[in-house]
Structure 1
Amino acid sequence: MKSLTLLAISAVAAKASPTAEPIRPNHDSASANANRIFNAIHSAGRQWGSSLNHNGFGFIPVTLSAGALLYHGGYSKDPPEGLEWLAFEVEHAENFVRVPRHPPNPPKGPEHEGQPQAPSSPQKFLVQPETEAHRDRDSEGRIRGYLQTYQTTRDVQLLYIDGSGAAKSPIGTLDSQDHVLFPNSSWQWYNIQSEMQRATAMCDMITKWGWAGIMRMEIGFEVIWCDFKSDDLQHESSVRALIQEDRLKDDDFMSPYLWTRAVAERYDGLCGDRVKMDFSSMVSGFFFPINISHTDPERPDLIRLKAAKLKHRLDIRTYLQKVFEEPRRFNVNWQGIVDMIVTRFSKRLAAMASTNVSTDIFIGELEGAVLAYYEAPGLPDDVTLAEDEDNRNKTAEAIDRCATQYLKSSQSARKDWTLQDDLIHTALSDVMQHICNDLYVMRTVLLRAAPDTSTDAYFINKSIKSSDMEKAVNQSRAIVRSLVHELAWTTWRKPQLCAEDEILVTVMWPFGDTEDYYNPGCVSFHEITEQRRSYWRPYEKRPRDF
């Protein structure tokens, strides 16, 4: 199969124009797709964002840590031979221990695209030779399932396919595999045998680099482990499962509930330091000058790699192979930088975009965001007053401080940057420039609406009640709502525990009431003051050791 796959790809490549220069990643594309690149980095390895932005465009080399536990469900107590699937969560694998005696048949052709799709992982239906023997021995009895536990013996390399790359669906979740890695493939999204062929082809590709498997996501993250005979994976145990038919019928509902709950705990990451992503070697369709439009007029939101020209998809495949054959870099933890940006601005922008937030809170949120970067004008009685610079440059300097603050940490490794690092920096810089420009535009609009202040004023005059101020506030709210729409951070689609003008509070010295200790909860903006410290007050007169 390996040789046939490579020959077929070569044949397709030969049909492409031999004289055309291959497309390459470039900064114009990174800038045009800045928000998408930002969101792809933020969602990588996270269930929530990768479920919402399910049509992945990226490929990232990852290191699976030594000692990581993985799980496999099947009919046999013995390890599989060759290629099989592993889950990161027990409940995910358990789903393939509790199997029906007669699995449902998948649809037979593309005309069934609207019908329920095939099961989500071949663990359940791709039967290894020893499993067939096990089934034969029990042909007169009941099928038994086993939960197998494995542990990695050293750090191993995986190819991570972002988005919901394990979702067997016709809406674009498999595009990165079926139209980039293997653009000549005729695999069917609903066909389990196609899934085995897809996995085998990917393993044929990545094992040449010395990598162990492929990491993808469905309802839970999985690893397609290419060779169970490898010394990189140690079989820890096989636990025989209870017979499904012996369970009370009323218990049937618990399996999907427990599986979903376990996976939902990974909305914000896999935890346990199990996976480390090499963003310095990330290859994304967003880096290239390609068509990424939708292919279904009823779902214009679903951009797809399939929309790109065949030649361009072949170029991306050739490029990523060259990148992935190089050593791992890990120059910058770009996801960490993205996280700092999101946690700095996400709740603030959500509050400013909300219709439930008053004008005073809106202005307070805005000033809290921008004044940290704005140098206040000097006053004659300032004790530390130095020679003041031209006020005209203060806003431009403030925007620059705002836009570059969280990117400064990446500069220490700049001499080692790959092209991928540079492209990611371009995308993140554009996102930050957009945020900071819009924030300072809103500040200028509101300052101009206050007749007693100038554009060089420091604070916005909240006491002004005029039609001009009302228009300025409405204009500013429209700017921030447009910004939120364009950024499209997945945090804004996650239900929040507290309202936009509330904070989840417990005691944090020196603040916090007794109620905050015994019953932590959502506290409104107006209740969080300097006086909120009753929990600590009885101890304030005690001698301190600091």
Structure 2
Amino acid sequence: MGLILGSKGFIYSFYGGLVVNGLLCLLLISKLWNTTELRMNAPFRGSRPLDPTYLPIDIHNASAVFNEVYDALKQKNSVLHPSGVSLFSAYVPKGTRLYHSNRNGQIPDQFEWVAMDEEFSYSFIHFGKNTNKHPRNDSHSHPPPASGGLHPPSWGTGPPTLMTFETTAPLNNLLYLGGASAAKQSQGGEMDTQILLAQLQNATNYSEWEGSNLICKWGNSNGRRLDGIIRVEIGFEIIICDFHRDMKLVSNITLAEVSDLIHFKDDELEEVMSNQFSALASYDQIEAGGFHHDGERRILLDQSKYISFLNKSWIDPDTYTRRVADLPIETRNEWLGKVDQLLRTKSTPYQSTNWQLISEGIVKKFTPILKTMELAHSVYQKDGDVNVLSLKLMRLAFNIVRRYVDAEDVPSESWKSSIETAINDYIYPLKPLQTEADLLIYSSMYTIQEQLLRLCFDTFKVSRQYIETFEDLSKEWEELGQRTNELISTLQWASFFKCKDVCNWDQLCYVPSWGPSPLGFSFRNKLGVTMGEDGVARIDDDFICIDYETILNFNQF
């Protein structure tokens, strides 16, 4: 039996699939209360407000959970936090267009890759003989499935073809893998969730083809249903387990070679222009991937079905190096068991709280506040002008405090209830909490939001004290500065990273990706990436503007 406290205070009980309410429900509650303690096990009964102490979580785990929810299906966020340790149940609506390219023009008769963006598949197939005449130094002509850069068996050797598919029914048994899950190589745990899903004993030298084959076979056996797994490279891709299930072919176009479209009289001009066309195709792919920095909206997540290793075992907070494939076997088996249960149900994104929407509201609100606070403290450290510091911080915090502190409570200065009200205002679930995942996400967001608001309220108090008394508050300012810097460092929000310049119309703000790319494949030779003294490649703090000539020059056609 489970209990649900409805969004309007009505109590419901479900038992053996039946739902009852009223007096019978009260009798059941009374009996249960007298015999056992109510515990927070899934399915979790929703309530308002929830005390996060039901699921204690420290700030680092809370931040990691917050980011995995906030980052999901976002290109920029996923590559900045490449080693994902979680997955979501996902859903692609009926009528969605998907793209696949190969060199035989045949619908795959087994699992294969599709792209959400046509530019991805178009760039992937390249320019036939012209590309072979002048290969890139980094070999972006990459069929992703096989290890060692080899083409998969279904690839073919004929002319390039680009197929468009359309879903004839919702794909509601998909798994979305967090992080840079299509990196195809690892310096951390980019491929770990796939290693675990494939149930491979060897966590090194992961073969895309072998692993994907094992995942699709396992996911479609013993009562499970898996339509595919969603990953990010440059743009989002889906490994479709069965092209003949809930999909139809819309178009199948054999792409003309450059010399077939343009009859050049000069071979040298043909070579120059072919290289430029190829670079532009790669630029278009990067640009299309960048459209999803704020989210791939054609894919929906059932966020009540979020399965994570976080708060279960120690996980390295460094998202570049953390691993889960080497966790204790019991922990991995527990995770896999939850995936097994998930694949026996359908994704229902409209029936759960959109936690990502809530996280986006928090990030948009507090990113400029935090970064302006950080800058104000940094300037104060240099010039020591406390008057400027106090007024700037007061301006940042004043309206947040005034919004939640009742006039009668101003003299008390404790404002505990005001902070509690503010927290719940920002993270209030849109639907009753139903699952363990809901509780984990809610508790994480509560912890993060509490830290944000306490910093704002304390900043207001110190600023007000100085403005009213002109006391020497050097220690208080120093403490606030440290707290601000530490919180920003802990949060690691992708919103903290941006282009250092304003790009021209024929440029884009380039966010490096992991795995095959027109601007570097390996971790060591990527544009916009720096190899640290610890041997770990990390994306630079400031992004740069690029155009198609950047790609042309980088690859030295």
Deviation at 1:253, TM superposition (A): 2.3
How many aligned residue pairs are there?
416
Is this contact kept in 2: 1:30–1:426, CA < 8 A? no
Scaled by the length of structure 1, the TM-score of the pair is: 0.69
Equivalence for 2:302: 278
Equivalence for 1:239: 253
Is this contact kept in 2: 1:82–1:229, CA < 8 A? no
Give the match's secondary structure for 1:210.
coil
Is this contact kept in 2: 1:120–1:168, CA < 8 A? no
Is this contact kept in 2: 1:214–1:225, CA < 8 A? yes
Choose the corresponding residue for 1:122, options 121, 135, 145: 145
Distance 1:202 1:291, change over 3 A: same
Equivalence for 2:394: 363
Counterpart residue type for residue 82 of structure 2: H
Equivalence for 1:221: 236
CA distance in 2, matches of 1:496, 1:267: 17
Equivalence for 1:212: 227
Counterpart residue type for residue 148 of structure 1: M
CA distance in 2, matches of 1:87, 1:228: 13
Equivalence for 1:490: 494
Equivalence for 1:27: 55
Choose the corresponding residue for 1:162, options 178, 187, 200: 178
Distance 1:117 1:265, change over 3 A: closer
Residue 292, structure 1, aligned to residue 292, structure 2: no
Counterpart residue type for residue 365 of structure 1: L
Is this contact kept in 2: 1:292–1:308, CA < 8 A? no
Deviation at 1:239, TM superposition (A): 1.4
Cα deviations by residue, 1:495-518 (Å, 9 ceiling, x for unpaired): 3789xxxxxxxxxxxxxxxxxxxx
Is this contact kept in 2: 1:213–1:225, CA < 8 A? yes
Distance 1:40 1:118, change over 3 A: farther
Deviation at 1:61, TM superposition (A): 0.7
Deviation at 1:222, TM superposition (A): 0.4
Unaligned runs of 5+ in 2: 1-40, 43-53, 261-269, 381-387, 503-557
1:111-510 equivalence runs, <5 A = 119=142, 121-122=144-145, 125-128=150-153, 132=156, 135=157, 143-157=158-172, 158-171=174-187, 172-178=189-195, 180-186=196-202, 189=205, 194-208=207-221, 209-230=224-245, 232-243=246-257, 248-251=273-276, 252-271=278-297, 274-288=298-312, 290-293=313-316, 302-329=321-348, 330-354=351-375, 355=378, 358-359=388-389, 360-377=391-408, 391-392=411-412, 395-410=415-430, 412-414=431-433, 417-450=434-467, 452=469, 464=470, 468-469=472-473, 472-495=476-499
Deviation at 1:487, TM superposition (A): 1.3
Higher relative contact order (CA 8 A, sep 6+): 2
Give the match's secondary structure for 2:432.
helix
Unaligned runs of 5+ in 1: 1-23, 105-114, 136-142, 378-388, 453-463, 499-546
Cα deviations by residue, 1:164-195 (Å, 9 ceiling, x for unpaired): 111111222001111x3234333754x7xx21
CA distance in 1, matches of 2:330, 2:305: 22
Scaled by the length of structure 2, the TM-score of the pair is: 0.68
1:93-104 equivalence runs, <5 A = 93-98=121-126
Residue 56, structure 1, aligned to residue 79, structure 2: no
CA distance in 1, matches of 2:108, 2:454: 56
Using the TM superposition, name which of 199-208 and 39-48 deviates more: 199-208
CA distance in 2, matches of 1:261, 1:352: 32
Equivalence for 1:91: 119
Counterpart residue type for residue 63 of structure 1: Y
Give the match's secondary structure for 1:148.
strand
CA distance in 2, matches of 1:448, 1:497: 39
Give the match's secondary structure for 1:151.
strand
Identity of aligned residues (%): 21
Is this contact kept in 1: 2:459–2:480, CA < 8 A? yes
CA distance in 1, matches of 2:410, 2:181: 54
Is this contact kept in 1: 2:101–2:121, CA < 8 A? yes
Is this contact kept in 1: 2:65–2:310, CA < 8 A? yes
Deviation at 1:489, TM superposition (A): 0.9
Distance 1:450 1:390, change over 3 A: closer
Deviation at 1:428, TM superposition (A): 0.8
Distance 1:182 1:489, change over 3 A: same
CA distance in 2, matches of 1:79, 1:345: 48
Deviation at 1:443, TM superposition (A): 2.5
Give the structure with the larger strand fraction.
Answer: 2
- For the pair shown, which has the larger CA radius of gyration, 1 or 2? 1
Deviation at 1:75, TM superposition (A): 0.8
Distance 1:238 1:301, change over 3 A: closer
Equivalence for 2:66: 38
Give the match's secondary structure for 2:304.
helix
